[in-house]
Chain A
Amino acid sequence: LSVLFSFDATLPFSVLLIMRQCGILFLSLHSSYNLFPKAMTASLTLEDLRQKIGHPWLKSEHVINGDLIRRYAEVVGGNAQWWNRIDQVPPVILATLGFEQVVSALRKLGPLVLHGSSDVETSRLVHTGETLVATLTLISIRERPALDNHAVFVVIQGEYSDYRGESVATSRQLAIVWPRGLGG
């Protein structure tokens, strides 16, 4: 895994594109590992998810390195130097930590998963180079129509803590799953 992470951080965009086009799934730049690996390998049903409400679901550790901030700034555009000048890890990066595992898991319920809302709040400046543990907890699941189709609304709460175990940020995100897409 560390080799893959290293590739991700150093390969030029064209190679990444080829990897993507060849269907090679590459991992994110968060130098991370899943602390609950079984959570991602098992199949998942709505009933399984309901059992997880209120309990830590996905936990992962991430090193927020300078390369991640650089790539973030490249994608988002604008004055990329701002984050370095203030020495703040962009809060949106915190909201992404581990969330790809949520999307990946929810895609086992249905093929179409979209964001409904996002909320991220930091309690202090998070600096480049810090190691954070992201703990994602399932808060609620509701089934109701959306865009004229049956949908499942899943609320996920994130807690991000530093090496001392102190919380540095929280998030709350709504993911909407359409088990049969929007096709009717």
Chain B
Amino acid sequence: VVRRSRPGNIRIGAKAPPFERQPTAEQLLRWTVVSGDDNPVHGDCAFAVSMGLPGVIVPGQLLLAFLGQMVVEWLGDWGWLTKLTVSYKGMNLLGERLICCGVVKEALGERITLEVWVENLRSEKTVVGMAVVTAFS
């Protein structure tokens, strides 16, 4: 296990590199296996449309996982992901290109808080929230 000290140059406003994803049907099916959630709105287009949705919806927890991955790739080896909290403001459809973004809002001691969100190509924020990481001491 590799763990490094927190770098000294974490500053408010620093941006995490964007993490882009374009969920496929295979990815959503694999997520079903990982999460156990076989809700048909995430895999059955006919069902989703019959429910009044525009198509297959990307699962919220998978979007949460994308945001978590974006944070840890920015984080490197000097800390661990402690908290993720988000609200789903819109729906993301299968095949839609998504960009996960994050910016440092607070750095108090070992605890760093980032504002995180998922936006689509129309720059609409469909998921908004925050992530907290804790630096290894």
Contacts and interface: CB of A to CB of B under 8 A. Distances in A.
B34 A88 contact: no
A165 interface: no
Given A91-B83, A116-B87, A178 B60 contact: no
Interface residues of B, number: 50
Nearest to A93: B34
B12 interface: no
A63 B98 CA distance: 31
Contact of B51 (A83, A121, A183): A183
- Give the dominant DSSP class at A's interface: mixed
A92 B30 contact: no
B1 A117 contact: no
B3 to A, nearest CB: 7
B84 to A, nearest CB: 6
Interface of A: 8, 13, 16-17, 20, 25-30, 68, 71-72, 74-79, 82-83, 85-88, 90-93, 95-96, 99-100, 103-104, 107, 111-122, 125, 149, 178, 181-184
A72 B62 CA distance: 10
B43 interface: yes
Q: Determine which residue in B26, B33, B69 has the highest number of CB atoms from chain A within 10 A of its CB, and name it.
A: B33
Contact of A13 (B26, B39, B57): B26
